[in-house]
Structure 1
Amino acid sequence: MTRNKGILYLALCAALWSTAGVFIKLIDWNSLVIGGFRSAIAAAVLWIVLWRRGTPRPVWNRSTLLTGLCLGGTTALFVMANKLTTAANAIVLQSANPVFVLLFCAMGRGQRITRRDLTVVAVVMLGVVLFFVDDLSPGGLLGNTVALLSAVLLAAAFLFASSAASLHETMSGVLIGHLLSALIGVPFLFLEPPVFTPVSVGAILFLGVFQLGIPYVLFSYAARVCPPLAISLIGMLEPIFSPIWVAIFVGEIPGPLALTGGVIVIITLCLWCACNARQAGNTGAPS
């Protein structure tokens, strides 16, 4: 596993994560129940991978618990934010997580924040804001605060996942996070019992296996070779890919500002990755 392959895995993760919007629209259930079911299925996928690797028992230690708590908390807070503010506000504010990654790396790891990294983070965030500017709203203070907290937890999850001692630990932390999300969401089915139809069952299986389960297996591998900032920035492709699927399957075409923002994000990330790869080649470091 090289860093370049890890970045490719992360881009594939972002593409698969972004299919959530299309398939969630097919399920007429409480959002917490949807989140709980898909996380339970994703946890099963991760456990199967661990079992196939000969390590079926997840590791329970400080690192995996912190990763799991942060991932589970991110999911719960993001669902809450979507109920308390607009979806665009929630996405844009959660997309601030690279800023917190930089801060955590500087404070917790003593890493120097370079001007290039700051510029890339600022430009990518500008692109995301442009992408959703037509739907942004100044209201929903509580929801906006919750969305920002989800960005903080997501940044922390990236740091804990990338600093785990082994792939087994990284995957265990992600598995624990999905188990926590399932524990939070599934009990709500007793308050609002879901109606199981062939379409809803098919959609929730897709969400659990292909939108969360397999991507988080790829994420676990990528986190072994990619630094937290790379994980965070490549993950910003998710909100850009999402409207593409909506345009293809629903017919909703993004406006000019949204398209401009998407192009800015993609070009900036491509240039940043190319620059890092060239720098690694010049120094003889593994890419």
Structure 2
Amino acid sequence: MSLLASSSFSHNRAVLVMICAATLWSIAGVLTRHLEVARGFEVTFWRSLFAAVFVVGALLWQKRGRAVANVLALGPVGLLSGLMWAVMFCCFMIALTMTTVANTLVVMSISPLLTALLAWALLRQKIAARTWLAIAVAFVGMVWMFVRGMAHVSAGQLLGMGIALGVPLASSINVIVLKKAGARVDLIPAVLVGGLVSALLMLPLSLPMQASAHDIGILAILGFFQLGFPCMLMVAASRSLAAPEIALLALIEVLLGPIWAWLGAGEVPANETLAGGALVVAALVFNELVALRRPANQASAV
């Protein structure tokens, strides 16, 4: 856990950490395809609970006797971040019960645009033209990836997409909170708050529990390695990345999700998925290569 204990990373290392986080997030779809009986609210409950357990263990390992004090030191900003995590945890899984994975992910792809707008409005952060261009190209790629899945959308699926909108909204607010207060407040415990709030909200809706031992094992993997650990990685990486950059790199989750579903659950991606994915990769690579080559005196523009 020494990686998470680092106060800050170099830019390149933070990019790698964020890529690892987004890659771990992307395994949600393929793993849930192998659940036997657990569905909907119960999946959200167990996933959130196991994520909270993982963060508790990580804090006890990293902070030892100071773990409780670290959580109590969150303050209002930390609680706001925790609530945003809870909204993301809940809305993502609820949306998946009401609409397709494709529809959910295409809604999530607006996160970089929302984050850039909030960073510009609230943080007074100058957004470079190449970042706006990367966001636009990545968004086009996301829509292209899922255009086939958007062809026939029912009223129920539209409602699910409306709920999914809570994910990019909460994510964008959370990224701004991380950038605004992350330097003075350790916001990794906020992931714990998010997991606990999400689990408590989903508990009454999950009864009676139906998950088998097989399902509990998969949900534990989801909670530990698809939710708890990568969310902690994102908090750590956010100390060295600009807000729009965090949101752009998070799109790797949307890109890789269909690929894992293809390899692990036999869901063959459409041509639109491959073409749109190529656009997303091009946007991310372009943005990072230009960032690496920018002069030091232009570092304020992201």
> Residues 133 and 167 (structure 1 numbering): CA distance in 2 closer, same or farther, change over 3 Å?
farther
For residue 218 of structure 1, report the CA deviation from its aligned partner: 1.4
TM-score (norm 2): 0.86
1:227 is aligned to 242
The 5-angstrom pairing of residues 101-250 of structure 1 reads: 101-136=115-150, 137-140=152-155, 141-166=158-183, 169-190=186-207, 192-197=208-213, 199-250=214-265
Contact 2:109 2:251 in 1 (8 A): yes
For residue 79 of structure 1, report the CA deviation from its aligned partner: 3.0
The farther-off stretch of 236-245 and 73-82 is: 73-82
> Residues 53 and 168 (structure 1 numbering): CA distance in 2 closer, same or farther, change over 3 Å?
farther
**SS at 1:26 equivalent:** coil
Q: Deviations over 1:145-179 (max 9, x none)?
A: 33223321111011112332448622022221111
> Residues 167 and 4 (structure 1 numbering): CA distance in 2 closer, same or farther, change over 3 Å?
farther
The farther-off stretch of 64-73 and 168-177 is: 168-177
The farther-off stretch of 135-144 and 175-184 is: 135-144
Structure 2 residue 80 is the aligned partner of structure 1 residue 66: yes
Contact 2:43 2:93 in 1 (8 A): no
Q: Deviations over 1:44-90 (max 9, x none)?
A: 21122222222312133121111111111122223333344433222
How many correspondences in the alignment?
284
For residue 20 of structure 1, report the CA deviation from its aligned partner: 0.8
TM-score (norm 1): 0.91
> Residues 167 and 269 (structure 1 numbering): CA distance in 2 closer, same or farther, change over 3 Å?
farther
Give the whole-Å Cα distance in 1 for the aligned partners of 2:118 and 2:211: 43
Give the whole-Å Cα distance in 1 for the aligned partners of 2:104 and 2:215: 25
**RMSD across aligned C-alpha pairs, in angstroms?**
2.2
